[in-house]
Structure 1
Amino acid sequence: MSYRKFLKKMKPKEQRKDLEKVEQKSIGTSITENLNIIKQKTGNSPDIIIRMLTFSHDPEVSTAIVHVDGLVDNPTINEFLVQSMEDSVQEKLEEKDLFKVFSEKVVAVSSLETLKDWDSLFLALLSGDTVILADGKNEALIASTRGGERRLVEQSDSEITLRGSKEGFTESINTNTALVRRIIKNPNLWVESMNLGKQTNTDLSIMYINGIVDTDIVKEVRQRLARVNLDAILDSGYIEQVIEDESSGLFPTITHTERPDAVAGNLLEGRVAIFVSGTPHVLIVPAVMIQFFQTPEDYYVRFPISTLIRMLRVFMFLISLIGPAFYVAVTTFHQEMIPTDLLVIIASQTESVPFPAIVEALIMEVTFEILREAGLRMPNKISATISIVGALVIGQGVIQAGIVSPAMVIVVATTAIASLATPNYDIAISARLLRFAFMLSAAIAGFYGIILGLIMLIVHLASLRSFGIPYLTPLAPLEWKSLKDTIIRGPIWSFNERPESLHPQNPVRQGKNQKPLPPLKRRMVRADTKEGDKNES
């Protein structure tokens, strides 16, 4: 029987009196009534642990500590908190205020605070803190004892790099913010915390570097988060979908990462990071399109190598976007563009195929998407087998059955591999969806349809904004100083200023004359510098 049904069978006066206890905002002075309220509000759940303590005090005062099993660090409670409470009372038997004694002597926990309302008490209790109640006190002492089983810091599975840090974020928001603080040891690295979700009360933090980030961006982030009124926040994707500028588009306007070094690099450029408890994916705003083709490893290698790799990623993205459409347009409308020998081979292969090129492409693309989704959702040991066996068996089967030509299988397989070369999963999904639209336009109008689709796509991208920043920045609008970190990655010593589009308070990123010099020129520069200092003095 629920507590509400139990109240209906009570007498009216007793019912009103007990309801007032449950709904009251402030904590009462009776420890028995306070503990009953905690039991009633939590449904007398077995994981709510209540321990009664009685100290030799004059007069004796009953004390209780309440915590949630699995959310706290049990050694901290048993070995430090309770023991420190007993020792503190023994040292100051004449002190009448137990909470004052505890606050002065209990130093084994990271923080102690006093609360007087039930809402704050339950939020702290269900967050992993320990609640200390004493008879005769209309307040509760909250001890920070958050712990429990957590996943250790491991390498990110979705953002693997050969060089650089191997640490990845976890589901603990405190661990994630600490990983970034290990990289940026700056007191201007500020963190603001809040709770979102009417039922879940999910912890959320925003992080930025004061003195670098544009205050208007931080203000906009605060305003958008303040408007969030969801029932639950189970992942950072909930936040992403309600604060982005364009939620109905195919292209993401907010990026996310599992790497602390990636967050640190974006913070140093003047962006804001949003941490959500329970997920290792940290949101970064604002985001521009070129970011989705960059990885932290690009800055750890020499710039010629990084530039070539970025160009390869953009080229693979274009193949994954219009590869099958290009083949459909050439074989359907523009056969004159194919060399004669190759055209004869393709014609002989497609002679026994009963479907036009567009139908072949749709059959193979849908089949590969099914295999990709099946391999993604299956256990790791089975997914690789399903992907390899499925691709080989189905590919060979459709060719022998005469449903699809071998050339179409090669084109679709190349397109699938090219989509995997895109470093960001969100932008790769956008290309996979738009690929079908480009294939249909190519089947209708050939190259003219592809070109028209590309023009419409560029116009759409130019209209997008991410927290007020144009999506195609620094290409449109054009920013000459920021072009060195787009498809072409300039040398590290040339990154003297931060991106202009972010309007950073401190645009200077590093000092000048960072370019490495040969030993002879270096000595000449030092001599000129010393002589100039003497003349100034």
Structure 2
Amino acid sequence: MFKNLNKWLKMNQTQSQSKEQQKPANNPLQQKLYSSLQQNEQLLRSIYNNSTDVVFRSFLIGEQINAILIYIDGLSDCEGIEEYVIAPLMKEEAGETTNLKQLIERKISVSQANEFNTFSSCIEYLSNGNPILLRDNEPSGLALGLTKWEKRAIEEPAAEMVIRGPREGFTETLRINTSQLRRIIKSPSLKLESMKIGDYTQTNIVIAYIEGLVDQTLVEEVRTRLQRIRIDGILESGYIEEMIEDTPYSPFPQLLSTERPDVTCGSLLEGRVAILVEGTPFVLIAPATFFSLVQAAEDYYQRFVVSTATRWLRYFFLLMSILLPSVYVAILTFHQEMVPGSLLISMASSRESVPFPALIEALIMEITFEALREAGVRLPKQVGAAVSIVGALVIGQASVQAGLVSAPMVMVVAITGIASFMVPRYIAGVALRLLRFPLIILAGTLGLLGIMMGIIAIVLHMCSLRSFGVPYLSSISTPKMDEMKDVLFRAPWWMMNKRPHLTGEYNKYRQASDQKPGPERN
């Protein structure tokens, strides 16, 4: 029996190996270009069959050499093709011998012209909008840098608006995003490594880092995680985020996403790595910590006293957004003795006609509030804000008058919703909103003991999280004065002379010491 099983396994292995060996030979894309222009055109027409946007333009070079120009309408510059390629080639003198190298040097006035000799390279250039020039008796072709398509203008990010700071944001065009980074960081130490992910989309990915500031092991880890992705297509950076994070089942984001070039450059100057994805304005930054998710870009542009006060206010409301509904439910259900007598009488009178216990009441209001918030996001901008605000007011007032919920519960849910908007990162706010529901259930079943158990579980989970090997609570898990200058408070810039210690080797000092401003000293 075991002999037959071994024979069957060996037979399947040899069959699979033979199939894998036959695939490249049967795949026309792996073949090199033919010398015959007719064969090349025939194969490319069969590949782009039923594709009306792919244009095949045949013409003669110098009235004697057959040539063809292939481009995708909508991705290539048609006016540039006519002016800089077809017109000069057709006006070439008869009898003049020209090869591809001579065409680039003498006739084609295009800044970028790349030579290739395989069908796979030809299709790759075509998909990126580069027109392809093929000529007879030439087993190679030219990819011309005449790409042109509609692009969104640079605008201020809607989700990361600031009062003081740059107003520019990333767009969906990868080269515009990389140019914004180059415009801010002019040093040649800024490195941009490119790769493609996705069998069908062939999405361009760029890894950005500053050589000399970043730990090379971090760059290698990011590169390795990206290279092991096997997927048919990448449409947004969220695909990449879920494929490379350390703990996929955690509600907390382990990479920072931003639309702002200044935030990205600030992270690069701290020794982090940025991942730019074509087709999305959101850039991923690794590694990320919990405190980097609750810091706003404006904290570094205002005076440090104002930024520190705002940061403490943000931390306070962050805790309130998680704990306020659960504490209210626990006190009403199990710990009425903690409430002053007059306030307890007022709350009891408001709950007199409510048929539900505090736990069910809180869950109903929280789910309704989240539904209204989600509806406001999905509706058109002209009516989204009006529907969410009016809906909350009308439903809240009608629910109180109908006796379904109490007025204090409406106030608690409203304050909680406002507090959740204080978190500057949307994805971090979503994670905190999700944690609110299990805490409410624990408060309704076990009281304050359940809340403490939930808080301990959340803290233990956050302590176990890693973002590319960096502890999620790294700034306070090993408290050091240099690391605390940008966590609980924002120290003035003349004091933050050291970079955060993220990974192994790093460039420690970012500026000179003893730069405290003041009158000139003797």
For the aligned pair, the TM-score class normalised by the smaller chain equals: over 0.9
Matched, 1:51 2:52: no
User: Could you tell me which of 32, 49, 68 is aligned with 1:26?
Assistant: 32
Shift in alpha-carbon separation, 1:405–1:502, aligned structure 2, 3 A: same
Matches within 5 A, 1:235-314: 235-314=236-315
Matches within 5 A, 1:329-478: 329-478=330-479
Aligned residue number for residue 69 of structure 2: 65
Shift in alpha-carbon separation, 1:160–1:43, aligned structure 2, 3 A: same
1:27–1:139 contact (8 Å) kept in structure 2: yes
Q: What do the CA deviations read for 1:82-117 (whole angstroms, capped 9, x no partner)? A: 345457x45xx7753331122213674332111111
Q: In 2, Cα distance between the equivalents of 1:26 and 1:344?
A: 86
Shift in alpha-carbon separation, 1:332–1:29, aligned structure 2, 3 A: same
Deviates more, 1:330-339 or 1:250-259: 330-339
Aligned residue number for residue 180 of structure 1: 181
Q: In 1, Cα distance between the equivalents of 2:505 and 2:179?
A: 24
Q: In 1, Cα distance between the equivalents of 2:404 and 2:109?
A: 72
State the Cα distance separating 1:501 from its structure 2 match: 2.2
Read off the aligned partner of 1:183 and give its amino acid letter. I
Q: In 2, Cα distance between the equivalents of 1:366 and 1:277?
A: 36
Q: What do the CA deviations read for 1:266-316 (whole angstroms, capped 9, x no partner)? A: 001001111111111011011111011112211111111111111111111
Shift in alpha-carbon separation, 1:143–1:383, aligned structure 2, 3 A: same
Read off the aligned partner of 1:26 and give its amino acid letter. K
Matched, 1:76 2:80: yes
State the Cα distance separating 1:359 from its structure 2 match: 0.9
Aligned residue number for residue 14 of structure 1: none
Aligned pair count reads: 498
1:273–1:284 contact (8 Å) kept in structure 2: yes
User: Could you tell me which of 15, 30, 47 is aligned with 1:41?
Assistant: 47
Deviates more, 1:23-32 or 1:432-441: 23-32
Read off the aligned partner of 2:60 and give its amino acid letter. T
Aligned residue number for residue 319 of structure 2: 318
State the Cα distance separating 1:473 from its structure 2 match: 1.1
Paired residue secondary structure (1:511): coil
2:126–2:132 contact (8 Å) kept in structure 1: yes
Paired residue secondary structure (2:342): helix
State the Cα distance separating 1:482 from its structure 2 match: 1.3
Shift in alpha-carbon separation, 1:312–1:48, aligned structure 2, 3 A: same
Read off the aligned partner of 1:113 and give its amino acid letter. N
Paired residue secondary structure (1:366): helix
State the Cα distance separating 1:147 from its structure 2 match: 1.8
Aligned residue number for residue 3 of structure 1: none
Aligned residue number for residue 5 of structure 2: none
Shift in alpha-carbon separation, 1:236–1:447, aligned structure 2, 3 A: same
Q: What do the CA deviations read for 1:12-36 (whole angstroms, capped 9, x no partner)? A: xxxxxxx979456111111122112
2:57–2:70 contact (8 Å) kept in structure 1: yes
1:470–1:477 contact (8 Å) kept in structure 2: no
State the Cα distance separating 1:477 from its structure 2 match: 2.8
Q: In 1, Cα distance between the equivalents of 2:274 and 2:451?
A: 37
Q: In 2, Cα distance between the equivalents of 1:217 and 1:74?
A: 43
Paired residue secondary structure (2:133): strand
1:270–1:504 contact (8 Å) kept in structure 2: no
Q: In 1, Cα distance between the equivalents of 2:487 and 2:95?
A: 70
Read off the aligned partner of 2:489 and give its amino acid letter. I
Shift in alpha-carbon separation, 1:175–1:349, aligned structure 2, 3 A: same
State the Cα distance separating 1:440 from its structure 2 match: 0.8
Matches within 5 A, 1:142-291: 142-291=143-292
Read off the aligned partner of 1:476 and give its amino acid letter. S
Superposition CA RMSD, Å: 1.7
Paired residue secondary structure (1:480): coil
Read off the aligned partner of 1:450 and give its amino acid letter. I
Paired residue secondary structure (1:500): coil
State the Cα distance separating 1:419 from its structure 2 match: 0.8
Shift in alpha-carbon separation, 1:273–1:122, aligned structure 2, 3 A: same
1:474–1:501 contact (8 Å) kept in structure 2: no
State the Cα distance separating 1:146 from its structure 2 match: 1.9
2:29–2:118 contact (8 Å) kept in structure 1: no
Read off the aligned partner of 1:65 and give its amino acid letter. L
Q: In 1, Cα distance between the equivalents of 2:84 and 2:209?
A: 35
TM-score computed with the length of structure 1 as normaliser: 0.90
Paired residue secondary structure (1:133): strand
Read off the aligned partner of 1:70 and give its amino acid letter. G
Q: In 2, Cα distance between the equivalents of 1:458 and 1:70?
A: 52
2:29–2:120 contact (8 Å) kept in structure 1: no
State the Cα distance separating 1:44 from its structure 2 match: 3.9
Q: In 2, Cα distance between the equivalents of 1:24 and 1:285?
A: 36
Shift in alpha-carbon separation, 1:27–1:435, aligned structure 2, 3 A: same
Deviates more, 1:209-218 or 1:339-348: 339-348
Read off the aligned partner of 2:76 and give its amino acid letter. V
Paired residue secondary structure (1:182): helix
Q: In 1, Cα distance between the equivalents of 2:123 and 2:330?
A: 64
Paired residue secondary structure (1:474): helix
TM-score computed with the length of structure 2 as normaliser: 0.92
State the Cα distance separating 1:79 from its structure 2 match: 2.7
Q: In 1, Cα distance between the equivalents of 2:342 and 2:198?
A: 64
Q: In 2, Cα distance between the equivalents of 1:456 and 1:393?
A: 37
1:346–1:407 contact (8 Å) kept in structure 2: yes
Deviates more, 1:398-407 or 1:304-313: 304-313
Q: In 1, Cα distance between the equivalents of 2:26 and 2:355?
A: 78
Paired residue secondary structure (1:501): coil
2:169–2:259 contact (8 Å) kept in structure 1: yes
Q: Percent identity?
A: 43
Deviates more, 1:177-186 or 1:382-391: 382-391
Q: Structure 2 unaligned runs (5+)?
A: 1-24
Shift in alpha-carbon separation, 1:259–1:406, aligned structure 2, 3 A: same
State the Cα distance separating 1:504 from its structure 2 match: 5.0
State the Cα distance separating 1:341 from its structure 2 match: 1.6
Q: What do the CA deviations read for 1:342-388 (whole angstroms, capped 9, x no partner)? A: 11111111111111111110110011111111111111112112102
